[in-house]
Amino acid sequence: MRLLFLGDIVGRPGRNAVIERLPGLRDRWRLDCVVINGENSAGGFGINEAICEEILAAGADAITLGNHSWDQRETLVFIERQPRLLRPANYPAGTPGRGANLIDTRSGHRVLVVNVMGRLYMDPLDDPFAAVDRELETCPMGQVADAVIIDVHAEATSEKEAMGHYFDGRASLVVGTHTHVPTADHRVLPGGTAYMSDAGMCGDYDSVLGMQKEESIRRFIQKTPGARMEPALGEGTLSGIAVETDDRTGLAVRVAALRLGPNLEETWPRFWD
């Protein structure tokens, strides 16, 4: 299978990059499954139903979230009727929505997508390792799921790497999100799981993490309240990871970084061209 994961969509530039480029990439590379983190897609803060539908229509099979899951209050309601929108699985019991789902892709495959949040330097939720373990037990790769994608929304690279190795051999891909900066450590781990510490963001990189740089710089220098943080509005770049898996086992065979757009050096999975 051919899997594509894209990091946090930040505001309109991130949405436009996805809407303009994803349909063409899906066709060109005959992608089987596309998962995108959408936690900053609504003006940098959360997601709403209209934007969720827009991203799905552009070619995402599932959308994951993170610490910004509930920035738009309507998400608490519409997530219940949108099985392709996932919030971290380690929220307390009773939290609206779901943290994992077996997604039927347009190509006819079944992909288990799991979203989980780290606990280092973040709002400490339940144990993320145990939360993902439970999802994998009920839906093992190669039996129920054709592939498994785990989005680890976390700050610390140590926690993300630990999770990559802990789930090595049980998932097609363990990929980090949240820092909005792509890392250069994409690889296939010894057990056959593709891994990348952070997928980067889909947004304007002439910014501080996708937000307008002036206000961000000011907040570091002057410790006084100022303007609202707004997304930077230059052209957006897509950033993420491409993975090819073995059809029988679901394990990764090849992996490549994807960066398409201005500001960063472009790269893409040349083995699919």
Q: Which of the residues are catalytic?
A: 68
63 phi/psi in degrees, rounded to 5: -125, 135
Q: Please choose, out of 21-29, 36-44, 92-100, 259-267, the segment that lies near Fe ion by the rule CB under 5 A.
A: 36-44
Token code pair at residue 210:
């996708």
Establish if 67 lies at the interface with Fe ion (CB under 5 A).
yes
What is the C-alpha to C-alpha distance for residues 242 and 29, in angstroms, rounded to an integer?
A: 10
Establish if 244 lies at the interface with Fe ion (CB under 5 A).
no
Binding residues for Fe ion, how many (CB under 5 A)? 6
Establish if 13 lies at the interface with Fe ion (CB under 5 A).
no
Token code pair at residue 168:
């090595």
Please, which residue, 11 or 59, has the CB nearer to Fe ion? 11
* Binding residue (CB under 5 A) for Fe ion from 1, 6, 8, 240: 8
Please, which residue, 26 or 68, has the CB nearer to Fe ion? 68
What is the C-alpha to C-alpha distance for residues 104 and 33, in angstroms, rounded to an integer?
A: 9
Q: What secondary structure does DSSP assign to 70-100, as a single string?
A: TSSTTHHHHGGG-TTEE--TTSPTT-SS-SE
The 71-110 contact track toward Fe ion, x by CB under 5 A, reads: ----------------------------------------
Enumerate the β-bridge partners of residue 85.
63
Residue type, 173: L
Residue with the CB atom nearest Fe ion in the bound state: 8
Establish if 26 lies at the interface with Fe ion (CB under 5 A).
no
* Binding residue (CB under 5 A) for Fe ion from 12, 84, 178, 186: 178
Are 236 and 13 in contact by the 8 Å Cβ rule? The answer is yes
For residue 224, count other CB atoms closer than 10 A to its CB. 7
Establish if 66 lies at the interface with Fe ion (CB under 5 A).
yes
* Binding residue (CB under 5 A) for Fe ion from 15, 25, 29, 40: 40
Binding to Fe ion (CB under 5 A): which residues in 196-215? Answer: none
Are 85 and 47 in contact by the 8 Å Cβ rule? The answer is yes
First to last CA, the chain: 15
The 131-170 contact track toward Fe ion, x by CB under 5 A, reads: ----------------------------------------
Task: Give min distance, CB of 198 to Fe ion, in A.
Answer: 10
Please, where are the H alpha helices in 59-199?
75-78, 128-138, 157-166
Residue with tokens 């740089």: 213
Q: Please choose, out of 110-118, 176-184, 224-232, 249-257, the segment that lies near Fe ion by the rule CB under 5 A.
A: 176-184
Residues forming contacts to Fe ion in the complex (CB under 5 A) are 8, 39-40, 66-67, 178
